[in-house]
Amino acid sequence: MNEYRIKAYAKINLGLDVVRRLENGYHEVKMVMQTVGIYDVLDFERTDGGIVITTDSGELPTDENNLIYKAAKLMMETYPISGGVKIHLEKHIPIAAGMAGGSTDAAATLKGMNRLFDLGCTLKDLMELGVKIGADVPYCVMGGTALAEGIGEKLTPLAPAPDCYVLVAKPDINVSTKYVYEHLDAQEIVKHPDIDGMVEAIAEESLQGILDRMENVLETVTVSAYPVIQTIKDRMKELGAINSLMSGSGPTVFGIFVEKDMARRAYDKLEEEQLAKQIFLTEFCE
């Protein structure tokens, strides 16, 4: 195989709890991750040598600071790959948005290199490699609905969440995950999300049970710094979302709708009001 194309899907957090700060500076988390139908496209091409990254986004580096580059380099150092690779990224997932855009591109790179060079790696192999790049990468390799624990790398696959429509809106700001966690005092979190209850609701195929438990403790930091996040959350509910939440460390907000027509009207309204720079109407993916 000389060429290969793969889609890299974004994620949202249906629930996100921070259990405690670890001695190494990381945070122990407990969260429910969900793949959504917003994706980047990566095209792979075999070359004589080296790693070349190109992209249609002017906001991303194309050197060793790009997670795609790091993933390709890791595969080349781990497996007997002869020759090099050129990877082109067509970017659609919002950048610095709490949707694992970089992590899912890295995960797709692990998968793409595996296929391009016929390495025969299992998903488990790629997930174990992925954690060396970032805590969200193993989940992005696996995808679907999952409980994530530890620093995000301990994964338990869950049954697919019930169907619904997901309105995603990213305001015109970028948020550093590092900044959010550095300003979070894990000991001062008064109310922890009911992640166990959400896992049970998913097993029972209860969309309402999931929506009732949607919480994200990182909102305590990000919403304080960027009030527009709360404005978008409230506006989505006014427009018919059963519930809305910030994803990851933000600033992206998503709202859950049962009726597609209502979700479409909310999409049009948000676009008209220009509260967000990027807006998508999508669904859960397995």
136 catalytic residue (yes or no): yes
* Cα distances (angstroms) measured from residue 11 to each of 101, 105, 240, 265: 8, 12, 22, 23
11 catalytic residue (yes or no): yes
d(CA 213, CA 175): 24
Q: Residue 62 pairs with which residues in a beta bridge? A: none
Q: Half-sphere exposure of residue 64, counting CA atoms within 13 Å on the CB side? A: 3
Residue among 11, 91, 111, 170 flagged as catalytic:
11
245 three-class SS: strand
1 three-class SS: coil
d(CA 269, CA 233): 14
Residue among 91, 111, 136, 170 flagged as catalytic:
136
**In sequence order, which ranges of 34-100 are alpha helices (DSSP H)?**
67-78
Residues identified as active-site? 11, 136
